[in-house]
Structure 1
């Protein structure tokens, strides 16, 4: 809650008429805020200049009065005018106060009545006539108080707090905030301790050092734009440099490093210029005024011409929670230039002839239709962009916590995907935001060493986790509340990403869920399947991997990765596809999962194995769909990866396997060339390979002679590989158990 004393409109020469006019117009504005008039125009202009909000669309929410004889508003209005006219020695006996709540704080009529009662009681004017009204719709409600300080009994004006009126008003606001539990301002002057208002620690420090709090205009500017005000920039950057300077030249040079100027105005005034804005030194800190600085550095010395200002970073002044404020600022700047161009065009049309006006006006109307005015503040811009999460975070920026995020050491900062799982990356001042489209709300944000999750649904969380695994080299730390951590763990388990989680508790849970085996078997990610058996048999036929163990299908043998038996020592060694046996002593026993270095080594080995399997499976799929590589101008082989899974694409683009990938693509191209050359011979070979009909043996003769068996023998099945077009069976023609 903030409190503001609004000055009255300038009075004319006739004080008697002006007192009555001010009382009448102010009461009319309070009870009819929608009615147009001079008083409303003044109030709207004043509140806009003080950055207190646009009051053009406000409505009357509640109205009340205190210490009147009349019970209707017209009678109370007449009493207010009569009491004001009796104060013949005062040009304006009526004070106008404003009490404003934060966005989202919606007081009831009973709370408004009690707030006004507490306010006037603490000011010591609870017996004076007062009319108050609450204006506003659902957000930023505020109360106007018309308080008559003239006492007809004593015929004197009542002095509030011996002239320290604003001090009493800030104390009253602290009591009201404490009474109803509303939110105090960040730079509140007073706080309540044991039921009594005491000066806040920050305000006491500012007072002892001579610093001034951020004004209402500066605070409203920051709330509207998301950038630091000139007053805050001077307070945080200029004041320490001025206090540390040992000469006027050092002072000017130090301020030039941050783009600030220290100039004299008038006889004894000082202003500090930040960009196009000027700030009075006395409104920031008494220690930087000309009088105080001259006591340390001597008489004022102007700035030398050789000292040049360093340009300020336009995004360096952006506040912490002002997400995408640079985009909103750019829209406002485009609209400002558009309005300036329209004004210049209207001025040019005035100087042109009537015929030229008719030719220029349609084009001007067309340009005006393309550009719409931006929203009045950053919060409204969030609503237009459907950034609902950041609306709440910006409104409560002093109390928000960090977004749940995935963090790690950014191993890969280049060649990151611009699209992942349907979410596209759009650069912004906060990093790279990922959304479904340019006008869609942000799902997650890549901020270097952190990937913050904004929309916490399964699709966005999984895409953010995959991006983190790719960027942080498969070592991702989950940061957030317990619910976020549990959802991440479940998503990682279902999608084969459990091994990338480095949190000790999550890594231990994942390790405990993996099957244990005495043999050295690396678990396979559920997202990666075994290569096709036909591909392995073809490679065996060509002699490429004849010495490797053969991978059988589910119908031929049990799965490769199985849970350990109850007694591994008693389990017989099971033969694999190559005829070799895998016993209990073929690999060292697994090390305990509690040893962190061993877990990291196991994770790295598992990642390498998964990458290898994905790489082999990718080429298996490419051969099944008969996709051919092409060579670019640089001589590098490339191939279309449409239809492959994300792990398979990553395996093909892995720089560590670049040479092997290029060699494999070259082999695919060579195999296809051989296959095309052998196509012409395939028809003849197939005819020769067709079995001939066996002659019928004569009656009474044995049909089992060697010649008959040779004629009846069925030729071998042709291999699919280009090297086996002659019909020779795998293994050099040997048949039978000898293979």
Structure 2
């Protein structure tokens, strides 16, 4: 099992009610609610009590108007088939262990498990504001806490072991983080982290020649990457807000190592065109693109991009359906056999990448097309 904190996106308001409703509704196409519960709310513990519970939680949160981030959103992903091993009591006990370890044992929270075509997972939305003391809890180095609890729960419930960052093994620098894997599983699009790692050697070569912070920013901008401070470290950011730890590119790219070379961090200074020596032309731009390339993918991809361009803001249902490539294929599959073939190809490749049992196509046509046309970008 892999436990991942979903951080608050910059510029996006913290909306606990919206998150709670999402967990209860399991809104992604093909996804459905498996189990649901509420903790530490006088309103109740079941899904029927959700509306009142959310009002109760918001009342507590309003006592801290100056705090912008009052939600800790945790996603725990399980291996295929493990939902059959775990009862609701087991799932609630696992959730309670994470809560206790993070310091949220007495905090209000909404939790639920979802079943979809990719993986069985649990969402937990903690209110970081304590309902009585009103103290706001933000765990320090929570990735170690999450890894420790995950290993303990795997052992206790006989689940498959997913080694984490703190297990004493050297991490493969080309391994995607849980957040990047989740992005690819939910969109079937190449993650920003895959884009960065694809060009890892040439980026490191350029950074090795850099003599100051402007030159560091110049090298990274050539690959559509911006470098920013986050917490006690640094992250590499994509134009659409995806992030990865700078140290995952290489240990030499950690905040400590870079500041040892170049001094205290300096943010990139953008200069007007024609006046700046560090104005950079992007050589390797990061663009959303299908994770798996089939020989007939371009035609459907062009149709997808064309529909996104002409989409009317009033068509909210269609807008949600076109949020990403996966949703588009799911919408098209009922009328376009090619979309179904691409769905099979994407699912099989994701299962290979995550070491899951390989998806077995349901028809000979699917089998032939997947074997002859599937290729990872």
TM-score, reference length from structure 2: 0.58
1:23·1:84 contact (CA, 8 Å) conserved in 2?
no
Q: Give the 3 Å change call, closer, same or farther, for CA 156–230 of structure 1 in structure 2.
A: same
State the match for 2:301 in structure 1. Answer: 336
1:265·1:271 contact (CA, 8 Å) conserved in 2?
no
What SS does the aligned partner of 2:296 have? helix
Between 1 and 2, higher relative CO (CA 8 Å, sep ≥ 6) is seen in 2
2:217·2:226 contact (CA, 8 Å) conserved in 1?
no
2:341·2:366 contact (CA, 8 Å) conserved in 1?
no
2:61·2:70 contact (CA, 8 Å) conserved in 1?
yes
CA RMSD of aligned residues (A): 5.1
Q: Give the 3 Å change call, closer, same or farther, for CA 266–102 of structure 1 in structure 2.
A: farther
- State yes or no: 1:178 paired with 2:155: yes
What SS does the aligned partner of 1:200 have? coil
State the match for 1:560 in structure 2. Answer: none
State the match for 1:94 in structure 2. Answer: 71
State the match for 1:143 in structure 2. Answer: 122
State the match for 1:230 in structure 2. Answer: 195
Gaps of 5+ in 2: 228-235, 237-245, 263-276, 285-290, 312-333, 372-377
Give the alignment of 1:63-102 within 5 angstroms.
Answer: 63-71=36-44, 73=49, 74-102=51-79
- State yes or no: 1:3 paired with 2:3: yes
Q: Give the 3 Å change call, closer, same or farther, for CA 336–288 of structure 1 in structure 2.
A: same
Deviation string 1:264-301 (CA, Å, 9 cap, x unpaired) is 87884641756xx65867351252589859959xxxxx
2:34·2:112 contact (CA, 8 Å) conserved in 1?
yes
How far apart, CA to CA, are the structure 1 residues paired with 2:110 and 2:309?
47
1:10 positional shift? 7.2
1:61 positional shift? 1.4
1:4·1:98 contact (CA, 8 Å) conserved in 2?
yes
Q: Give the 3 Å change call, closer, same or farther, for CA 238–84 of structure 1 in structure 2.
A: same
- State yes or no: 1:271 paired with 2:239: no
1:64 positional shift? 1.0
State the match for 2:25 in structure 1. Answer: 32
What SS does the aligned partner of 1:3 have? strand
What SS does the aligned partner of 2:82 have? coil
How far apart, CA to CA, are the structure 2 residues paired with 1:177 and 1:222?
24
How far apart, CA to CA, are the structure 2 residues paired with 1:343 and 1:76?
37
Give the alignment of 1:288-327 within 5 angstroms.
Answer: 292=258
State the match for 2:165 in structure 1. Answer: 189
1:343 positional shift? 8.2
Deviation string 1:10-67 (CA, Å, 9 cap, x unpaired) is 789xxxxx88xx3433333332344xxxxxxxxxxxxxxxxxxxx2342221111222
Q: Give the 3 Å change call, closer, same or farther, for CA 88–239 of structure 1 in structure 2.
A: closer
TM-score, reference length from structure 1: 0.32
1:335·1:374 contact (CA, 8 Å) conserved in 2?
yes
Match 1:200 to one of 168, 171, 185: 168
Deviation string 1:664-698 (CA, Å, 9 cap, x unpaired) is xxxxxxxxxxxxxxxxxxxxxxxxxxxxxxxxxxx
Deviation string 1:552-573 (CA, Å, 9 cap, x unpaired) is xxxxxxxxxxxxxxxxxxxxxx
Q: Give the 3 Å change call, closer, same or farther, for CA 394–271 of structure 1 in structure 2.
A: same
State the match for 1:158 in structure 2. Answer: 137
State the match for 1:120 in structure 2. Answer: 99
How far apart, CA to CA, are the structure 1 residues paired with 2:170 and 2:159?
19
Q: Give the 3 Å change call, closer, same or farther, for CA 66–331 of structure 1 in structure 2.
A: same
What SS does the aligned partner of 1:133 have? strand
How far apart, CA to CA, are the structure 1 residues paired with 2:259 and 2:107?
46
Q: Give the 3 Å change call, closer, same or farther, for CA 29–288 of structure 1 in structure 2.
A: closer
State the match for 1:219 in structure 2. Answer: 181
What SS does the aligned partner of 1:69 have? coil
Deviation string 1:487-520 (CA, Å, 9 cap, x unpaired) is xxxxxxxxxxxxxxxxxxxxxxxxxxxxxxxxxx
1:398 positional shift? 7.5
1:120 positional shift? 0.7
Match 1:129 to one of 105, 108, 113: 108
Gaps of 5+ in 1: 13-17, 35-54, 191-198, 249-263, 297-301, 304-308, 312-321, 347-368, 384-389, 401-436, 446-739
State the match for 1:61 in structure 2. Answer: 34
2:60·2:134 contact (CA, 8 Å) conserved in 1?
no
2:129·2:137 contact (CA, 8 Å) conserved in 1?
yes
2:108·2:131 contact (CA, 8 Å) conserved in 1?
no
1:126 positional shift? 1.1
What SS does the aligned partner of 2:119 have? coil
1:240 positional shift? 7.2
1:80 positional shift? 1.5
How far apart, CA to CA, are the structure 2 residues paired with 1:86 and 1:234?
47
1:140 positional shift? 1.2
1:119 positional shift? 0.9
Q: Give the 3 Å change call, closer, same or farther, for CA 155–439 of structure 1 in structure 2.
A: closer
2:72·2:126 contact (CA, 8 Å) conserved in 1?
yes
Q: Give the 3 Å change call, closer, same or farther, for CA 225–181 of structure 1 in structure 2.
A: farther
What SS does the aligned partner of 1:86 have? coil
Match 2:365 to one of 432, 436, 439: 439
State the match for 2:268 in structure 1. Answer: none
Give the alignment of 1:491-502 within 5 angstroms.
Answer: none
1:63·1:133 contact (CA, 8 Å) conserved in 2?
yes
Deviation string 1:84-133 (CA, Å, 9 cap, x unpaired) is 22334433433222222234432432232122011111112212222211
Q: Give the 3 Å change call, closer, same or farther, for CA 270–180 of structure 1 in structure 2.
A: farther
Give the alignment of 1:384-395 within 5 angstroms.
Answer: 394=352
What SS does the aligned partner of 1:202 have? coil
